[in-house]
Amino acid sequence: MTKTARTPRQPAKVVQLRKGTTLEMVRLACPDAAQAALIAESFGLIVLDSDGIRDLHERLIIETAGALSEGMGERAMQIHLQRIVGAYVGSAHGAGQFYSRAVTEARDATAKTANDTRDEDLDGPVGFDSTAQRKREFAADMALQSHALRMAAEGAVAAYEQVVGEAWKPFERPLDKPGQTIGRKAAEVQMAAFR
């Protein structure tokens, strides 16, 4: 009885992808127009022209693509716009996360002021705002900033779809193994050849 030598099967290589930030993630993190207007009115801030911000950024991307179209092919334009729209979406998402942290800090500080036995949370001298009030005002400012960036991102995404003809999706790149150097990768490939 003779045995035939079999080469062992190589397991399928699973490539992990670094997930990109989506517009839906931005919408979950940043206030919508109604909430931004309510916050602005509650804190005496300027009510933003949400539709104006969105429309301006949509036109900006479309006009930029039009100006570049003679010197770029379709695929190059798609890649370029992918990066630009990704920057808008990423910026809005970062602002939304920062806003969420500011709201949490404001809520915590406000809850502490409800406890009458805490001296450090009492209002300051007359004419100065309390720490909790400053945190609430800061959170309101961050709400309007993140909302404005959300509207800019929504305009950029809409423009991408008009120019490219398909819905924008975040670029997902392969995730390198953290801490693995080029030398280590080369050694793995070389050692695999001996198997």
Which residue do the tokens 């009458």 mark? 116
> How far is residue 65 from each of residues 6, 56, 62, 151, 161, measured CA to CA in Å?
56, 14, 5, 19, 12
> How far is residue 151 from each of residues 25, 37, 57, 145, measured CA to CA in Å?
13, 13, 8, 10
The total of other beta-carbon atoms located within 10 Å of residue 53's CB is 19
Mean pLDDT of 150-157: 98
Mean pLDDT of 93-119: 86
More confident position, 178 or 34:
34
* C-beta pairs of 23-27 under 8 Å, 24+ apart in sequence: 23/89, 23/153, 23/154, 23/157, 23/168, 25/93, 26/89, 26/92, 26/93, 26/96, 26/150, 26/153, 26/154, 27/150
Domain assignments of the chain as residue spans, ordered by start: 28-117+128-171
What's the confidence (pLDDT) of residue 19? 73
Per residue in 68-100, pLDDT (tens digit) is 999 999 999 999 999 999 999 999 999 999 999
Query: Is 163:61 a contact under the CB 8 Å cutoff?
Result: yes
Structure tokens belonging to residue 133: 């009030």
pTM greater than 0.85 = no
| Percent with pLDDT over 90 in the chain | 64
Average pLDDT, the chain: 86
Distance of CA 192 to the CA centre of its chain: 39
Structure tokens belonging to residue 184: 């280590």
What's the confidence (pLDDT) of residue 137? 96
Q: In angstroms, rounded to a whole number, what is the distance separating the alpha carbons of residues 165 and 5?
A: 53
Mean pLDDT of 8-16: 55
Residues 6+ apart with CB under 8 A from 38: none
